[in-house]
Amino acid sequence: MKIEDIIQSKAMPLGRKTALNLMYTSNLLQDKTAEILKPFDLSPEQFNVLRILRGQKGNPANLCTIQERMICKMSNTTRLVDKLLAKGLVERSVCQENRRKVEINITEKGLSILAEIDEPIDEHNSNIIKNLTKEEIEAFNETLEKIRD
């Protein structure tokens, strides 16, 4: 269904239409992601932070590194990490080289919950590109990059 029909609004500037289409589609995706994560009691951003930590392959990450890589930058990463800490999915320690920093590591429990979630999430992610050719996907990702610049 075309975005114009969904939001019932014909004849808008092309930039506005494109922006609304992008945000609308992204929100659908995020809602679906949240639904998949719900049984695991994780929010999309908590999940995202766990994946960032897993990507560190054993090296700790500090809060500002996490924040830089987050999909949705938020004003309070401390408390988001607190939630993961309370669930035993991450560990936190003071960085000895620079005592202002904290070092955050994913725990075994964190890794194992991620391993469980990867399947349904990647299945959904494959699903969103199932109607697209490889060229189309490539072009789409490039267009997103140009939009960000």
Partner DNA sequence: TTACTTTAGTTGTATATACAAGTATTTAGT
Partner DNA sequence: ACTAAATACTTGTATATACAACTAAAGTAA
Query: Tokens standing for 103?
Result: 């070092």
Residue selected from 100, 134, 146, 148 as contacting DNA according to rule CB under 7 A: 100
User: Considering the complex, what minimum distance in angstroms separates the CB of residue 32 from its own copies?
Assistant: 10
CB atoms within 10 A of CB 32: 16
Q: Which residues contact 46 (CB under 8 A, 6 or more apart)?
A: 80, 83, 84
53 binds DNA (CB under 7 A): no
The values of phi and psi at residue 11, to 5°, are 55, 60
Q: Which residues contact 132 (CB under 8 A, 6 or more apart)?
A: 140
28 binds its own copies (CB under 8 A): yes
Per the CB < 8 A criterion, the answer to whether 85 and 127 are in contact is no
22 binds, among its own copies, DNA, none (CB under 5 to 8 A by kind): its own copies
101 binds DNA (CB under 7 A): yes
Query: Tokens standing for 32?
Result: 């679906």
Q: Which is nearer to its own copies, 94 or 123 (CB)?
A: 123
User: Considering the complex, what minimum distance in angstroms separates the CB of residue 80 from DNA?
Assistant: 6
Binding site for its own copies (CB under 8 A): 1-3, 6-9, 13-31, 33, 51-52, 55, 69, 71-73, 121-122, 125-129, 131-132, 134, 136-137, 139-141, 143-149
